[in-house]
Amino acid sequence: MKPLSKKSLVSKAAKTQDFRSNPVFPEDTRWMRAAIMTAKRGIGRSGVNPPVGCVLIGANGQLLASGNTGAGGVPHAESAALANLDDAGRIALRGGTAYVTLEPCAHHGKTPPCADALIAAGIARLVVALQDPDPRVNGNGLAQIVKKGIIVCLGVEAALSNESLKYFIHKIHNHKPYCSLKIAASLDGKIVLSDRKKRWLTGPKMRRYVHFLRSQADAIITGIGTVLADDPKLNCRNEGLENDSPPIFIFDRLLRIPTTAAVLQSPYPVTLFCGEAAPEQRRQALGDVGCVIVPLPGDADGQPDIGAALHYLGTRGINHALVEAGTGLVTSFLSANAIDCIYWTQSDHILGGDALPAVGQFASQTINAVAIFAENRYIQTHYQEIGGDRLIILQKPNANTGRTQA
């Protein structure tokens, strides 16, 4: 039997409109990977919306335009890509293909539905990596496009796209942000000498990497102990990323933070998680300098409950939070099983037995981060030497619960 041509396969798919079994062509992988690379520009910048990428290909196979989710989530990737077309590109797109890393939305939010925009653009084919698990979408966008006779292929490079969208997908499934923990430790697993004086443990190249991590997060979480001891800014100071510092959230049971603290110079209002017994005069004083005060129920130790704090962040659309804190809060987060990924940065310094450990249970152990965290079901996924220091990334298996349909 003579094999079907690409044109015949497309024609057959148009009749069946079964987007789970529609034909996939070699160039689909290439263009979807390009869309995924484009999507990464929006990580940490897309606000409550997922960082999506879109690539538009003309009917004759040429690249016409691309776009990603904009700052604060607007515009959506599809709208951004369509806006990048000139008059000739809009004509060339008719009968062409759109590659999108996540199912186009079909509901009215801050922007009109992207499904409508793609239909109006006259594409003949839509290739999507992942179905959107958001209940407002979850297949509705694909169904709307299919109804207009457009061929839809779902699942191209799904695993790769899942990695770039894992924070959003985790939040949708768990109703709380994906939490990463950054620890800067000595060779013996300590973070500071007993005098608590601030000293750099890792070198400038590793510190630049940490600033990049901040730019990829939607929120930074720290504790009052770190603020009082170090007076950090917790912003991103890498050249070109100065405007990508995320909002800051501080666990401060009694609202002890000084109104002159460096962290309060953040361009965003700083949120303080306090206990219900926090003094009213402190609430007023800190509110007067722009802080958002969020009283939370106490945990068994009387500290603001971590689960309640993460639920609050989830309701505010925070997809990814980076925890940078001292021994107490770090230990609490790990004990609460609230950390999904650990960035363990380690120098060759040895601080000695009286120094403070990175995590409470490490106090009397020589540190093998991989072995110790393995006891808590973390596995090493990456190792890299950066400027003489070591970066070890450990993750929970299945921390990304975004096994979306593909």
CATH value at residue 278: 3.40.430.10
Find how far residue 340's CA is from the centre of its chain: 12
Q: Are residues 62 and 131 in the same domain?
A: yes
Q: What pLDDT shows up at residue 403? A: 40
Tell whether the model's pLDDT for residue 168 goes beyond 60.
yes
**What is each CA distance from 174 to 159, 168, 251, 310, 313, in whole angstroms?**
19, 10, 22, 10, 12
Report if residue 403 sits inside a domain.
Answer: no
Tell whether the model's pLDDT for residue 362 goes beyond 80.
no
Alpha carbon distance 9, 24 (integer Å)? 10
Q: Are residues 138 and 193 in the same domain?
A: no
Q: Are residues 188 and 133 in the same domain?
A: no
Tell whether the model's pLDDT for residue 17 goes beyond 70.
no
Report if residue 400 sits inside a domain.
Answer: no
Averaged pLDDT for residues 234-252: 92
Report if residue 234 sits inside a domain.
Answer: yes
Tell whether the model's pLDDT for residue 364 goes beyond 70.
no
Q: Are residues 233 and 310 in the same domain?
A: yes
- Number of residues that make up the chain: 406
Q: Are residues 324 and 298 in the same domain?
A: yes
From 78, 103, 157, 324, active-site residue: 78
119-123 CB contacts, 8 Å cutoff, 24+ apart: 119/144, 119/145, 119/148, 119/150, 121/56, 121/82, 121/90, 121/93, 121/94, 122/93, 122/94, 122/95, 123/56, 123/93, 123/94, 123/95, 123/96, 123/97, 123/98, 123/150
Question: Where does a domain end: 148, 164, 180?
Answer: 164
Number of structural domains, the chain?
2
Q: Sign of the C-alpha dihedral, residues 308, 231, 46, 101?
A: negative
Alpha carbon distance 65, 78 (integer Å)? 10
Alpha carbon distance 73, 76 (integer Å)? 6
Q: Are residues 303 and 341 in the same domain?
A: yes
Q: Are residues 204 and 160 in the same domain?
A: no
Report if residue 281 sits inside a domain.
Answer: yes
Q: What pLDDT shows up at residue 185? A: 86
Averaged pLDDT for residues 353-362: 68
Report if residue 135 sits inside a domain.
Answer: yes
Q: What is the dihedral of CA 314, 316, 321, 326, to 10 degrees?
A: -100
Q: Are residues 354 and 280 in the same domain?
A: yes
- Lowest model confidence (mean pLDDT) among 21-25, 91-95, 223-227, 368-372: 368-372
Q: What pLDDT shows up at residue 400? A: 56
Question: Where does a domain end: 108, 134, 164?
Answer: 164
Report if residue 227 sits inside a domain.
Answer: yes
Q: Are residues 155 and 183 in the same domain?
A: no
> Across 118-245, where does the E strand assignment appear?
125-130, 151-154, 178-185, 190-192, 219-223
Report if residue 313 sits inside a domain.
Answer: yes
pTM of the full structure: 0.86
Domain enclosing residue 19, as ranges: 6-164
* pLDDT band with cut points at 50, 70 and 90 for residue 345: very high
- Lowest model confidence (mean pLDDT) among 38-52, 230-244, 288-302, 373-387: 373-387
Q: Are residues 146 and 213 in the same domain?
A: no
324 is catalytic: no
- Helix 140-147 / helix 114-121 crossing angle, nearest 10 deg: 20
Question: Where does a domain end: 164, 197, 220?
Answer: 164
Q: What average pLDDT does the structure give for the chain?
A: 88
Tell whether the model's pLDDT for residue 45 goes beyond 80.
yes
Q: What pLDDT shows up at residue 240? A: 87
Report if residue 194 sits inside a domain.
Answer: yes
Q: Are residues 153 and 63 in the same domain?
A: yes
Q: Are residues 201 and 89 in the same domain?
A: no
Q: Which domain CATH number covers 30?
A: 3.40.140.10
